[in-house]
Amino acid sequence: MGDQQSPINIRDAVVVPQLEDELAVRWRADQFSAAEEGHGWRLRPKGEHSVRLSGHEFRLDNIHFHRPGEHWIDGRARGAEMHAVHLRADDGLRACVVAVFLDLGEPGASDAKPPSGIDLPTLFPGEGFHRYEGSLTTGEFDEVVSWVVMKDPVQVEDPALRAFVRAHADRARPVQPLNRRFVLTTR
């Protein structure tokens, strides 16, 4: 492990004008296959989804969840966090992870089975994000990730997805030192 580990406590971010122009998210409602893998449950899309970040195209590999949220904002953890892991189309070793804080609302009755369909656009809060370079938060913790941490949380309306996240989210890795990195942010 090096000195660019994730997650981090986000504070004192540097505002960069037009940073929001560097991100384009192309998600849609889709069917997902779910499997419990070495680090927890991963939901893989049946169709194509992508993000464009700083001129590079990344395709969605999987989504998964952490409870509590891994990234902290000004010293505070959030209740849950979704990670949408995208791999670079021309270099599968580089990743862009879009992190979205989730509000799970009140618990409801459910058997907590993985949902087969997810309306991804409803889980994207729109504009406003933090950006930094870091690592995967599971596995070998490889420092190959461009992180996009959305500022606003999203209310999870789908009761099946809420129950699944409550029952099967990965544990949160402790926050790591920022070291000499800068965190950029939109206005």
Q: Which domains are assigned to the chain?
A: 9-185 (3.10.200.10)
Distance CA 91, CA 164 (A): 32
Average pLDDT over residues 151-174: 94
Please state, in angstroms and rounded to a whole number, the distance separating the CA atoms of residues 71 and 73.
7
Classify strands 76-77 and 80-88 as parallel, antiparallel or unpaired. unpaired
pLDDT digits (tens, 9 = 90+) for 104-157: 988 776 778 899 899 999 999 988 999 999 999 998 999 999 999 999 999 999
pLDDT digits (tens, 9 = 90+) for 32-59: 999 999 889 999 999 999 999 999 999 9
What was the pLDDT predicted at 131? 98
Rounded to two decimals, the pTM is 0.95
